Amino acid sequence: MSTVSAVTDAAKGWAFVVVQAILLLLLVALPSADHWPTPTAVRRVGDILFVGGLLLVAVASLRLGRSLTPTPVPNQSGELTTTGLYRFVRHPIYTGVLALVVGLTIRSGNLLCLLVGLVLIVFFNVKARWEEDKLATVYDDYRAYASETPRFIPRPPRR
C-alpha cells in the first residue's frame, strides 16, 4: 500500500470514528419522549439489548487482541480472527453497538432517537463495507470467510 493511500485510509478511518461518536452521543443525549408507549416490558427489552450489546462489544474486542484498532483500518501486523464470536458474524463489535442502539431507541419513545438509530444502522453498514474492502486487501482469505459468515446477524447453522 502506498504512503498516500495509507494516509487517506487513516483519515477516512478517523472520519468514521468521529461521525460514529457524534451519532452515538446524540442518541444518548436526546431526552425520552412519549411518541410510542414504553411499558415496563418494552423498557426491559431495551435494557437487555443495551447490556447485551455492551457485553458483546467487550468480548469481541478482547477476542481481537492485538488486531484491535480504534478505526476500521486493519492492523497490518494483526491476524484475521474467525473464531469465537467471529465465526458467527464478521463484525460482532458492530453487532453489539447496534444492539445497544436498538435498546436505547426502543426505550426512548422518541421519534428523533428512532431517526438517529436508523441513521446509525445505515452508517454501520457503510462503515462495515468500507472496512471489508480493506480487510480483503490485507488478508488473502477474507473474501472466503466473508462469503460464509454473515455481517451482523448470525444465521442458523447450515446442515
* 158 occurs within a structural domain: no
| Residue 102 is assigned to a structural domain of this protein | yes
pTM of this prediction?
A: 0.94
Residue 154 within a domain: no
Structural domain boundaries enclosing 27 = 3-148
> Which cell goes with 53?
450489546
What are the pLDDT digits (tens) for 76-93?
A: 888 999 999 999 999 999
Residue 129 lies in a domain: yes
Does residue 106 form part of some domain?
yes
Q: Report the number of distinct structural domains present in the chain.
A: 1
Model confidence pLDDT, tens digit, residues 120-155: 999 999 999 999 999 999 999 999 999 999 999 999
Q: Could you tell me if residue 37 is inside a domain?
A: yes
In a domain, 159, yes or no: no
Alpha helices per DSSP H over 30-110: 40-64, 92-108
Burial of 3 (0-12, 13-18, 19+ CB in 10 A): exposed
